[in-house]
Structure 1
Amino acid sequence: MKSPKEVLHDWVAAYNARDPYALIELYHDDAINHQVAFGAPLQGRKVLLESFIAFFNAFPDNYTHPENIFEDGEWVIIEWSGGGTFLGELGGNPPTGKSFTLRGCGFFQVIDGKIRFQRGYIDKYTWFTQIGLPVS
């Protein structure tokens, strides 16, 4: 069975390949993803897969570069930098063609080689300002 850190390396590879189907295979059936800047957590593979597909359609050139990865027991933490170009609809908003660069961090609880819980932190104001969306 893979360690939490190995699972996170697989997650980064699938994310950078913009492959939602490879990405969802890394999650438990009842996994929770809480992106704090966006409110309520998402739960379950079906909902998570839909969110990954929507994100990759909106930002087809999205990339994430790990800056630090830390592992402690069943937890793995990533500090990252990334970016992309807003080229597809996102949450009912039409694409603006604007690019972004951003930094953030994520916490992943990995149990039995799969992600059970994920929490991410980004600066929504910085991101939305760069891609031309109103911040609410």
Structure 2
Amino acid sequence: MSETTDQNKRTVLRLYQEAGNEGRLEVLDEITCPDHVEHYPFPGQAQGLDGLKQRVSMIRAAFAPRFTVEHVVAEGDTVAVMWRNEGAHVGEWFGFPPTGKPVTARGVDVHRLRDGRLAEHWDVVDISQFLLAVGAAPAPAGTAGAGR
């Protein structure tokens, strides 16, 4: 693996640890391109560096998250991450008032870097556990919590 690819992995991991877990949004100024593109933005989320700060802030305010990176795959300027986010639903999330319930989300993010900085982001996130926790979806029959 090239030195550039290794550095790209380290940059992406800083997003999850320093910004996501520690709330140090100022690190995004260092590791993100000003014209960052969010391909699947949250409703109302801006584009660019400010939009990424907004996204991280929204997640932190709603879930008090603890991201765990489970897998990282990098090739050239692209880094893919499989993660788990365990937290509690402590703030409003797109119309769902806080429940205080523990929630876990899992997802895969693909980041493209330019000159060693975050330039683009795509994601697929499994929010089924959140929907069950807040009562927005019934527990499937035969599973823990069904019929409550």
TM-score (structure 2 length as normaliser): 0.75
The 5 Å alignment of 1:1-136 reads 3-14=7-18, 15-35=20-40, 42-60=46-64, 62-130=65-133, 132=134, 134=136
In the other structure, the counterpart of 2:143 is none
Q: Which has the higher contact order (CA 8 A, sep 6+)?
A: 1
What one-letter code is carried by the residue in structure 2 that aligns with 1:5? K
SS at structure 1 position matched to 2:119: strand
Q: Name whichever of 75-84 and 27-36 sits farther off.
A: 27-36
In the alignment, is the contact (CA less than 8 A) between 1:32 and 1:41 conserved in 2?
no
Q: Which has the higher strand share?
A: 1
Across the two proteins, how many residue pairs are aligned to each other?
Answer: 132
The residue matched to 1:87 in structure 2 has which SS? coil
Tell me which amino acid in the other structure corresponds to 1:57: A
Structure 2 residue runs of 5 or longer lacking an equivalent are: 138-148
Deviation at 1:75, TM superposition (A): 0.4
Q: Equivalents in 2 of 1:49, 1:41: separation in Å? A: 10
Identity of aligned residues (%): 23
CA–CA distance in structure 2, aligned partners of residues 114 and 41 of structure 1: 20
1:24–1:106 distance in 2 versus 1, CA, 3 Å:
farther
Counterpart amino acid of 1:6?
Answer: R
Contact 2:90–2:98, Cα closer than 8 Å, also in 1: yes
1:53-106 Cα offsets, whole Å, 9 max, x none, are 22211222x111111111100001111122110112223432111111222111
1:14-73 deviations in whole A, cap 9, x for unaligned?
12212233235421111112348x57985212222222222211222x111111111100
TM-score, structure 1 as length reference: 0.81
Does the CA contact (< 8 Å) of 1:24 and 1:49 recur in 2?
no
| Structure 1 residue ranges without an equivalent (≥5) | none
